[in-house]
Chains A and B, each alone.
Chain A
Amino acid sequence: MSDPILTPAHNNTAHTADVLDVAAVTVRGVNKQFQTASGTVHALENINLSVAAGEFVSLIGPSGCGKSTLMRLIADLDDPTSGELAVFGKTATQARLDQDYGIAFQQAGLLPWRTVAANVSLPLELHGVASAARSTRVAELLDMVGLTDFADRFPDQLSGGMQQRVAIARSLAEQPRLLLMDEPFGALDEMTREKMQTDLVRIAADTGAAVVFVTHSIRESTSFPAASMRTRTWSCPSVAPRQSTRSRRALALPRGVARPRSSTLRCRPLASASRILSQRGTAKHPATVPSTTAFTRSLVTLRLIR
């Protein structure tokens, strides 16, 4: 936190003690509706979520369940139809203007005319960081994502996974207190993803940043290194009709993963969580329901407990 590069965007971290008490993200009773040609689509209905400073929360769910929408609301790329939303105790717009978060999207979204290094330094450049400090920081970040040798390459000379690593380095450039990640590892191969996951958790822990991580993959969300995880399920109106919320109770659940709908669920740590997924339908554990089924029609939040 004493990094001199951070000054412009992070002058408010001077009062670190105060800031730590404020939740990174508070979502209260948020609804989001989209008007489309075929009528109103309820993307989010009465969502409550709180992400404490330094906390790691995944938003899991199938396509269209509103997880990306929720993230876009937090990032102030969209406005909620109703409900309250605060980022570090401020409005989402103010938080965006104050550069309180870093963001990485599903696609890398690199500027094709900029080299890898220039892409990473883009946010620093936009916020007036001096050129010397910029190049030090960029070198640091590229080292972290293992792309030091590719600093002078252009994005089209990189594989999809490398591009995504550049995007992640870019999102970390200003050491934000909140990281918003919209399926950023979707395009990566498994080995790189595992490394990036471990790195992300480490970086988040090191910098004390809160992370909101959007993914449709339960496997991915449960494979972050953590002592344990806590899940909470929200019905998701745009995907499922209301009654399905009730019928989900009948579903058998794997041991370790508690019933959905109860407010706090405990599942076993990493190892068992991934074992649950690999055990589907073996003789010993007859058709343990895949957490996938339980999650199919809902938006699930999953907190890593360190």
Chain B
Amino acid sequence: MTATQNDKRGEVAVRAARSSGAASSRARTRLLGGFGWGIAGVLFIALIWEGYKFLGPDNGVLIGELRVLPRTTDLAMPHLWDMVVRLAEPVTRADGALPLWAVVALAALTTLGIAAAGWAVGVVVGVAFALLMQRWRLAEFGLLPWIVISQTVPLIAFAPVVKSWGSRVEIGSFEWQDWMSVALIASYLAFFPITIGALKGLQSPDRIHVELFETYASGYWSTLLRLRLPAAVPYLLPALRLGAANAVIGAVVAEVSTGLQGGIGRLLIQFAGQASGDPAKAWAPIFGAIVLGLVAAGSVALLGMILKDYRRTEEAA
């Protein structure tokens, strides 16, 4: 009661300051809540894994000939703690071998670098396409169908083609590296959502804003810089996040299909081959890939925090 009375009497500025303080504490609570739910989710999955392993039959659940649930043997479903313990042990029995986690981390970093390069190329290409299509309607009609079709080509099909083309590229002292093929394939997957998101964002300014800039006799570039690009941010960020996830998937798959050494994709195949003798080891690169995806998406979230002023309409909605 007192609070409301104070509110009514209080100055606008005071009220505004208080409400912004309340909003920030609410945001903090929401953030903590988010973390809590995230951890709860992981624990839940762990519980199901171990619960099924404990309760389920050794041979899995079969309906007729069809196995609908996996075997629960240590070979098929190692204990979670075995996987964790295995991470700390050396990767091979050879002297001076690095612990498994370090090998996975190094491989993940390599893949992350390649994926980041692919993502960057995807951003440049995607935004360029979007700018082209926003400026000229004809370009949108001409390009968009091809851009959509490009994504229906199976990655596995053209990965070796890209590799073999790449190996023939030689411009002066520049020599095409194998990792560049992988990055190119990653960018091929990354550019698509970025093109679509950026196009939608660049087309998003309200008519009233476009006309306002027209009355200021503002040219194409200054309208782009001060109106279209800022307005595109709320559309661009989810697209960049999607692009980052796609780049990681693209990089991992391309590593496998071009046989590039040193990345997490190669490790996945290699350790899976050793799974009959060392089942827990095969899971390490899978965890690595998950962390990789989280880092990639998280970096974009960081970008979103830097650009938070441009996302005000998004938060209000």
Contact = CB atoms under 8 A, between A and B. Distances in A.
Contacts of B230: 111, 113
Interface stretch (B153-161, B185-193, B204-212): B204-212
Contact of A113 (B208, B218, B309): B309
Contacts of A149: 13
Interface string B209-240: 10111111110001000110011010000000
Given A99-B217, A109-B212, A157-B16, A126 B222 contact: yes
Contacts of B13: 149
Interface in A76-123: 76-77, 96-99, 101, 103, 105, 107, 109, 111-113, 122-123
Contacts of A77: 211, 214-215
Q: Is the interface of A mostly helix, strand, loop or mixed?
A: loop
B316 interface: yes
A156 B310 CA distance: 12
User: Which of A99, A112, A126, A153 has the most chain B CB within a 10 Å cutoff?
Assistant: A112
Contacts of A169: none
Nearest to A106: B208
A224 B212 CA distance: 26
A109 B214 CA distance: 13
B238 to A, nearest CB: 17
A113 B226 CA distance: 10
Nearest to A157: B16
Contacts of B310: 113
Contacts of A113: 230-231, 233, 309-310, 312
Contacts of B214: 77, 96
A97 B313 contact: no
A96 B217 contact: yes
Interface of B: 13, 16, 20, 206, 208-209, 211-218, 222, 226-227, 230-231, 233, 309-310, 312-313, 316
Contacts of A127: 216
Contacts of A157: 16, 20
A126 B206 contact: no
Contacts of B206: 109
Given A122-B226, A149-B13, A99 B216 contact: yes
B313 A156 contact: yes
A126 B312 contact: no
A103 B226 CA distance: 18
A302 B316 CA distance: 40
B215 A156 contact: no
A103 B212 contact: yes
A111 B208 CA distance: 10
Contacts of A101: 215
B220 to A, nearest CB: 13
A111 B229 CA distance: 12
A216 B201 CA distance: 35
Contact of B312 (A99, A107, A154): A154
A127 B217 CA distance: 9
A113 B208 CA distance: 15
A132 to B, nearest CB: 20
Contacts of A138: none
A105 B208 contact: yes
Contacts of A57: none
Contacts of B231: 113
A97 B215 contact: no
A157 B213 CA distance: 23
A94 to B, nearest CB: 10
A74 to B, nearest CB: 11
B212 to A, nearest CB: 6
12 contacts: A75-B215, A96-B214, A96-B215, A103-B215, A105-B208, A109-B209, A113-B233, A113-B309, A113-B310, A113-B312, A125-B226, A156-B316
Contacts of B309: 113, 154
A101 B217 CA distance: 11
Interface string A221-252: 00000000000000000000000000000000
Given A107-B208, A157-B20, 17 more contacts: A75-B215, A77-B214, A77-B215, A96-B215, A97-B217, A99-B217, A103-B212, A109-B209, A111-B227, A113-B309, A113-B310, A113-B312, A122-B216, A122-B226, A125-B226, A126-B213, A126-B222
